[in-house]
Structure 1
Amino acid sequence: MLSYFDISAEASHICCNLLKSISQVLSYYQFIQRVLDIKDGDSFETFQVVIFELNSFTYSNDPFSNLKTDDFKLINDKHSSVLCHLKSMRKRVGRKIKLMKYLMKTYWFCVTAACALVAITAMVIATHTLTAVILGPAILCFPFKHLKRELRDCKVSRKGSLDKVYEQLDIAAKGTYILNRDFDTMSRLVARLRDEIEHNREMVQFCLDRKEDKLSFQVVKELKKSDIGFRKQVEELEEHVYLCLVTINQTRALVIKEMKRSV
């Protein structure tokens, strides 16, 4: 369980870094908006503003620079490893629970049969002796029910503990699986955004190197075409990050709740 809490904390840290990156991407989007507000028939001064904005963009930092290239791969590998471990532990505990159920049924039958056999044997012996009057009531008063109840409670307590452990492992395993899937999705979204930003940066740099007015406005047109799709990608990534954080917090809360119940 400690390994689950470790990777969920690491996942939360990466999500927070992603939110910072998204904030930088949104500032990049504000640059796009300023450029898109410029029209073909605007003055030379307006064109100079375009050039300045384009230059600013080419020198801007990569918004995802706080995330290493292998971060998603490493966290996915850790999630997969922990998930396999949790599933294995859950399977072992599940087998123990089934075995406990079988032993409880068998043990209950054996105890009941043994108690009945002892009582019958004692009564048969007692009927052939002069102490029947004394032994009979004593045997009948022997606390067979109390003994069976104590044994049953012991077994139920052990099974209840295993059930709680199984529930903890089940919640953690499901949460880890969802996290692994969410991070796989987010890694693809980040890669797409990185490619889109880099493509726009290269296109702008090419335009600035050629220093042609028509090319500058052509770049603006291309940015307009990709603007809506770019915004949707940013919104989709942001939504997945927040959902991932919600999943982490909910799963951790459920696991802690189950652990408190077992104390």
Structure 2
Amino acid sequence: MLLQPEQHTVPSILDSILFPKAMQDLKLLMLTYFETSAEASRLCSHLLSSINQAHYDFHFIKEALEKINDGSSIQETNLAVSQLVSFTLSDNPLSNTDQHEFKLMQDRYTAILHQLKSKKKKVTRRMKFIHGLKTVAGVCLIVACSVLALVAVVIAVHSLSGLLMGPALLGCTPFVQLKKKFSMFRLFRSRFLRRLMEQLDAAAKGTYILNRDFDTVSRLVSRLHDEFEHNKMMIKFCLERRNDRVLIEEVVKELKKCGRGLEQQIEELEEHVFLCLVTINRARLLVINEISKPQP
């Protein structure tokens, strides 16, 4: 499945977006997020190749066991035995490397999620600070205008010119301008921080879901790996005692029974890996859409 957006386009997209100087650490965090998701996509694609090999090995075993158990010719039986021997000597299609890499990917996603949550807390504190600053500034402006109103009244009592100066003082042009500028600054900062919170939420949501999905895939890979090893041991046992026809029939019957469960496990793992790839792309596009919106 094609990675969206392609990883080589991400740095240029982030460079084209205006990040305030104080938010350069956010840009680096977003870059790390996209690099990690690209690596996760590569890991899932590699695992799909291993799953294809697991499908092949499963059908390989199934056909060989049927030849042994259905009274085939000696030549066909010997060929089937040879195939089973080669299977027992081959590498497990779900190697320990796959399990280890998925666990490492979980650790990376956990670290990114922690950083995103930390950044969200900082943004929340800034939003609360601006709200508090608005309250304090509002009180100060009210007090200042009240004082000016009182001064205007005192001047009006002592002189006729005060009657003309009173309205001008009450209008208090510098304070009105200051109030307007502060309101514009507060509005800009509030919108910017809300946008920032939406970006962080989008990245955190995708990270959390993928971290959970990777945990599921890691457990499925481990279970399937162990199931293949169990089948190898049973086949070895069967081959070592292939002169005992009754025993072979029982072992083959048990292998066929296990095979149905093995096939289900392979299909379940394949489905989860495809879901991971879809989730990776959705999360990447969601974050790109959030950070690409025009700044207020």
- What is the TM-score when the length of structure 2 is the normalising length? 0.78
Letter in 2 for 1:243: L
More displaced, 198-207 or 151-160?
Answer: 198-207
Kindly state the Cα deviation for residue 216 of structure 1 after the two structures are TM-superposed: 4.3
Note if contact 2:113-2:208 (Cα within 8 Å) is conserved in structure 1. Answer: yes
Is 1:212 the counterpart of 2:243 in the alignment?
yes
Letter in 2 for 1:103: L
Q: What are the superposed Cα offsets for residues 153-211 of structure 1, whole Å, 9 maximum, x if unpaired?
A: 11111122122222222222222222222111111111111111111112222322334
* Distance across 2 between alignment mates of 1:177 and 1:245: 15
Aligned to 1:173: 204
* Distance across 2 between alignment mates of 1:138 and 1:90: 45
Kindly state the Cα deviation for residue 116 of structure 1 after the two structures are TM-superposed: 4.3
* Distance across 2 between alignment mates of 1:233 and 1:127: 93
Note if contact 2:98-2:221 (Cα within 8 Å) is conserved in structure 1. Answer: no
Report how many residues are paired: 263
- The counterpart of 1:250, out of the listed 282, 285, 290, is 282
Kindly state the Cα deviation for residue 27 of structure 1 after the two structures are TM-superposed: 0.8
Kindly state the Cα deviation for residue 225 of structure 1 after the two structures are TM-superposed: 0.5
- The counterpart of 2:140, out of the listed 102, 105, 110, is 110
Note if contact 1:179-1:248 (Cα within 8 Å) is conserved in structure 2. Answer: yes
Aligned to 1:35: 64
- The counterpart of 2:105, out of the listed 63, 71, 75, is 75
Q: 1:154 to 1:188 in 2, by over 3 A?
A: same
* Distance across 2 between alignment mates of 1:124 and 1:37: 109
Question: Which structure 2 residues correspond to residues 148-227 of structure 1 after superposition, within 5 A?
Answer: 148-212=179-243, 214=245, 215-227=247-259
RMSD, aligned CA: 2.6
* Distance across 2 between alignment mates of 1:105 and 1:253: 38
Letter in 2 for 1:16: S
* Distance across 1 between alignment mates of 2:96 and 2:45: 11
* Distance across 2 between alignment mates of 1:251 and 1:124: 65
Aligned to 2:119: 89
Q: What are the superposed Cα offsets for residues 59-107 of structure 1, whole Å, 9 maximum, x if unpaired?
A: 3332134935532332222222222222122112112212222221232
More displaced, 140-149 or 199-208?
Answer: 140-149
- The counterpart of 1:238, out of the listed 248, 270, 290, is 270
Kindly state the Cα deviation for residue 7 of structure 1 after the two structures are TM-superposed: 2.2
Letter in 2 for 1:245: L
Letter in 2 for 1:35: A
Q: What are the superposed Cα offsets for residues 15-48 of structure 1, whole Å, 9 maximum, x if unpaired?
A: 1111111111111122133235444344334423
* Distance across 1 between alignment mates of 2:146 and 2:279: 55
More displaced, 216-225 or 181-190?
Answer: 216-225
Aligned to 1:101: 131
Aligned to 1:229: 261
Letter in 2 for 1:220: V
Kindly state the Cα deviation for residue 145 of structure 1 after the two structures are TM-superposed: 4.7
More displaced, 188-197 or 158-167?
Answer: 158-167
Aligned to 2:26: none
Aligned to 2:41: 12
* Distance across 1 between alignment mates of 2:132 and 2:141: 14
Q: 1:163 to 1:258 in 2, by over 3 A?
A: same
Gaps of 5+ in 2: 1-28
- What is the TM-score when the length of structure 1 is the normalising length? 0.87
Note if contact 2:94-2:224 (Cα within 8 Å) is conserved in structure 1. Answer: no
Identity %: 47
More displaced, 199-208 or 153-162?
Answer: 199-208
- The counterpart of 2:74, out of the listed 29, 39, 44, is 44
Letter in 2 for 1:75: M
